[in-house]
């Protein structure tokens, strides 16, 4: 029995159904439950798989305002500002970037008032020199993951 590409196949199977049982994964991949368990443990320990979480539709929960914040930051304060942004529950993504801005953050809000309060709080931060906020009108694609390529030689 060959285990070539088994890790990639296992990751792809979990992307399709993160709640799949070890038995069903083993059947789908044509290997033993022990093999799946061992490979899954290795993927978790190496950090390839960081956890199992539900895919939440924030719009359905009333968080239907998405804002993209672009921030210019005092150079030496970049790590501190990034950490402070990450602490805000409604900031779902925070990136340090190249280009005109230093940080891009994506936030989900229940209304524009909540978004406005968050932005005003950020603008009071002395380490933030400039900001530009865009409100998302339509999310054509969001939180997408992709299957790993498998070389089936």
28 is written with which tokens?
């789908």
Q: State the CATH number of the domain containing residue 86.
A: 3.30.70.920
Helix axes 6-16, 22-29, angle to 10 degrees: 130
Contacts of 127 (CB under 8 A, 6+ apart): 73, 74, 77, 80, 81
Q: What percent of the chain has pLDDT over 90?
A: 69
Closest by Cα among 117, 113, 112, 104 to 135: 112
Structural domain of 94: 58-135
**What pLDDT does 89 receive?**
84
Q: Compare 153 and 105 and report the one with higher pLDDT.
A: 105
Task: Quote the CA–CA distance of 81 and 101 in Å, as a whole number.
Answer: 13
For the chain, the average pLDDT equals 91
pLDDT at 2: 59
The answer to whether residue 104 is domain-embedded is yes
Q: What is the mean pLDDT of residues 136-150?
A: 89
Q: 119 and 92, same structural domain? A: yes
CATH number of the domain that residue 37 is part of: 1.10.10
Q: Which residues contact 9 (CB under 8 A, 6 or more apart)?
A: 29, 150
The model's pLDDT over 57-113, given as tens digits with 9 standing for 90+, comes to 888 999 999 999 999 998 899 999 999 999 988 999 999 999 999 999 999 999 999
- The answer to whether position 14 is within a domain reads yes
Question: For tokens 């936030």, what's the residue?
Answer: 107
Kindly give the residue spans of alpha helices, DSSP state H, lying in 46-96: 78-87
């Amino acid at each position: 029995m060959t285990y070539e590409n088994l890790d990639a196949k296992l990751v792809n199977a979990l992307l399709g159904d993160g709640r799949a049982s070890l038995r069903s994964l083993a059947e789908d991949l044509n290997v033993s439950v022990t093999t799946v368990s061992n490979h899954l443990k290795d993927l978790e320990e190496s950090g390839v798989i960081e956890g199992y979480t539900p895919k939440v539709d924030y719009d359905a929960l009333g968080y239907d305002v998405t804002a993209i914040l672009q921030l210019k930051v005092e150079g030496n304060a970049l790590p501190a500002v990034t950490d402070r942004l990450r602490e805000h529950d409604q900031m779902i993504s925070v990136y340090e970037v190249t280009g005109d801005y230093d940080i891009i953050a994506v936030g989900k809000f229940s209304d524009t008032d909540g978004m406005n309060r968050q932005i005003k709080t950020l603008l009071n931060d002395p380490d933030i020199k400039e900001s530009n906020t865009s409100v998302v009108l339509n999310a054509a694609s969001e939180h997408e993951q992709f299957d790993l390529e498998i070389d089936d030689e």
